[in-house]
A and B are shown apart, each in its own frame.
Chain A
């Protein structure tokens, strides 16, 4: 308890010894924080990248056991409140670098440096960019990666959605409540999304799906005006007001690249779900190479990682 008071009341830029640093702010980090606090592990959560993670950007969550439907932002807010009620400590800070020093890990954050006996990496992933011409230029001017955030700007508009996984279809369904017409393009000939979601989209009256189709270019002046698509029948230009992209995720592992083994796609290489190439470093949630990336698996990872730290500290 003494240490907790010290942390809350102290300033910045000092080396602080802790049993555990949790990097990240999404469900995996929040679950790890809850378990670490209940295990009474001296810790800090560095809410790097985006507090709440990808989950906070999801309009509606219907597959988190125990809760029929809930907004993503509401779910992570309750998770954080629950962790804090058990004594979890949070700092609005990003990890800049992490280096091994003896049996500790030196973690430099925005305004503090920590010497941690253990580290849980739960920094999640950001939406991947497709890299087509116009994508950067029109980001925030018609190009979006978050329907939950931006759908109200496209009332009665025609929008394009790119992707075929759960995120693309879920977000397309949310968008369909606002727009007048929604065109989804997918490079394959069937969805990877849950069949329930896919069927819901296919039966949506204002939605159409173009299979085996890719986005080549986004055009416009001040904002998005049209897109160029590559279809099985050749290239065609389509007038749209907005483009929403769901083409995968980029793991936030840069500060840890020299610390642990990563896969070619940048995810943390794990074994036994949360263990990494270093004994005292664990990974949880979307930052890992675990195949199923859901809130339910992220919180499970977070709990496992905190439990593994507890065992190491015994």
Chain B
């Protein structure tokens, strides 16, 4: 599985990576756009597996994480580098938009 399921208490360890950026998808089982985003994330994670780690977090399973990161809408994707939030995308993104955004972030954050 290219997109790994995590819980709130695992975010810090999962995203404190220097040689890659990390995307955490905060979503919920009852959210239509979240379901639509799942196959997009899987495809993009296949294309960018060398540069980006992908994680999925269920907001109902980890309500404290939603509160900690001020999540008030799903899907919300937070991108981290070395433990710091570097970008936040709210709502569905198609494959092209998401891939372009992540490639731009890897260009600016990862050493050549």
| Residues of B close to A140: CB separation below 8 A | 71-73, 76, 88, 90-91
Question: Of A51, A93, A242, which is in contact with the most chain B CB atoms at under 10 Å from its CB?
Answer: A51
Query: Interface size bucket, B side?
Result: 20 to 34
Segment at the B interface, from A35-43, A147-155, A264-272: A147-155
Q: Does B70 lie within 8 Å of A223, measured CB to CB?
A: yes
- Identify which of residues 74-112 in chain B touch chain A, using a CB-to-CB cut-off of 8 Å: 74-76, 88, 90-92, 94-97, 99
Q: Does B43 lie within 8 Å of A92, measured CB to CB?
A: yes
Q: Does B71 lie within 8 Å of A153, measured CB to CB?
A: yes
In the complex, per-residue mask of A77-99: 1 if CB is within 8 Å of any chain B CB, else 0: 00000000000000011101000
Shortest B98–chain A CB gap in Å is 10
| Residues of A close to B91: CB separation below 8 A | 139-140, 145-146
- A interface residues (Cβ-Cβ under 8 A, vs B): 48-52, 56-57, 72-73, 92-94, 96, 110, 139-142, 144-146, 148-150, 152-154, 222-224, 242
Shortest A45–chain B CB gap in Å is 14
CA of A206 to CA of B73 in the docked complex: distance in angstroms?
22
Q: Does B90 lie within 8 Å of A139, measured CB to CB?
A: yes
| Residues of B close to A242: CB separation below 8 A | 72
Choose one: B28, B30, B33, B90; the contact of A50 (CB below 8 Å). B33
Segment at the A interface, from B5-13, B15-23, B34-42: B34-42
Shortest B33–chain A CB gap in Å is 6
| Residues of A close to B33: CB separation below 8 A | 50, 56-57, 146, 149
Does B2 have its Cβ within 8 Å of any Cβ on chain A?
A: no
Question: Of A50, A139, A149, which is in contact with the most chain B CB atoms at under 10 Å from its CB?
Answer: A149
Q: Does B94 lie within 8 Å of A73, measured CB to CB?
A: no
Shortest B11–chain A CB gap in Å is 17
| Residues of B close to A49: CB separation below 8 A | 94
Q: Does A48 lie within 8 Å of B72, measured CB to CB?
A: no
CA of A73 to CA of B32 in the docked complex: distance in angstroms?
6
| Residues of A close to B76: CB separation below 8 A | 140
CA of A93 to CA of B96 in the docked complex: distance in angstroms?
7
Shortest A170–chain B CB gap in Å is 15
Q: Does B72 lie within 8 Å of A50, measured CB to CB?
A: no
Q: Does A92 lie within 8 Å of B73, measured CB to CB?
A: no
CA of A16 to CA of B96 in the docked complex: distance in angstroms?
20
Given contacts A56-B32, A56-B33, A92-B39, contact A150 B74 (CB under 8 A): yes
